[in-house]
Amino acid sequence: MPTSSIPLRAAIAAIGLGLAGCTGLETLTRATEPVELYDLTPKSTHSEDLPTISAQIVVDVPTAAASVNTDRIAVKPDAYTVEYLPVARWVDRAPLLVQTLLLESFENSERVRSVGRLAIGLSSDFTLVSELREFQAITNGEDPSLPLRVLVQLNVKIVKEPQGLIIASRTFAYNSTSSTTETLSVIAAFDEALGKVMGQAVDWSLREIAANGG
């Protein structure tokens, strides 16, 4: 993660200021401004009583609404508005980032023989299909100086192949609160919330697959 950070409310306010009159050379200048890239971490600890899976698992890219299917970091000042930090970016589009971290989390469990991406053409015994329903920070509308709440919600379906039969479905969600309003603190809250969701999703998936012949 970058060592520098920017006050979050100042960053959001800069969106509106930056859009005013951005034509000609100013547009070119804005396009070449550097960005700060942020990554998140996979889940590295899991339940000790997880079953060992011999089946091959493929993790598909999560689907997501257009507001989430981007490398921009979403912030909601109210229930109806979506804004983005103008400088900070995820290292990849959020669904691709989550797919990569889910794969690493499965591997870190050391309970699965083989897990990979659908994109590399693997044939699977089970496919993990998911929807990233929430992946944003939420400001306190009454007092913007207060820490932000980060909400991550992931719906997971386990599909048994080659029948294409959904054998289990569950939604996992977690709220985390940043310690300050600065960007690094908000990213840390994303990391905590996503880590909790992935840990629950991976442990649940392994148990469900084991119970269905995996």
Return d(Cα 8, Cα 6) in angstroms, integer.
Answer: 6
* pLDDT band at residue 8 under the 50/70/90 scheme: low
Residue 9 has pLDDT above 80, yes or no: no
Q: Is residue 103 part of a domain?
A: yes
Mean pLDDT of 203-209: 97
> Does residue 3 form part of some domain?
no
Q: Helix (H, G, I), strand (E, B), or coil: what is residue 194?
A: helix
| Cα 12–Cα 18–Cα 24 angle in degrees, nearest 5 | 155
| Cα gap 90→27, rounded to integer Å | 22
The reply to whether 146 falls in a domain is yes
Asked if the model's pLDDT at residue 136 lies above 90, the reply is yes
What is d(CA 141, CA 52) in angstroms, rounded to the nearest whole number? 46
What pLDDT score does 82 carry? 94
| Assigned domain for 22 exists | yes
pLDDT for 33: 67
| pLDDT tens column, 15-42 | 343 333 344 444 444 555 678 999 999 9
> What pairing do the DSSP bridges indicate for beta strands 112-117 and 53-59?
parallel
Which residue segment(s) compose the domain that 123 sits in? 8-211
Is 1 a domain residue? no
Residue 174 neighbours by CB distance under 10 Å = 19
Domain count across the chain: 1
SS3 192: helix
Q: Is the pTM higher than 0.85? A: no
Average pLDDT value for residue range 129-143? 91
Asked whether residue 2 is domain-assigned, the answer is no
CATH code at 152? Answer: 3.40.50.10610
Per-residue model confidence as pLDDT tens digits over 138-156: 998 777 778 999 999 999 9
Tokens 């290292």, located at residue: 91
pLDDT digits (tens, 9 = 90+) for 58-103: 999 999 999 999 999 999 998 899 999 889 999 999 999 999 999 9
**132 occurs within a structural domain:** yes
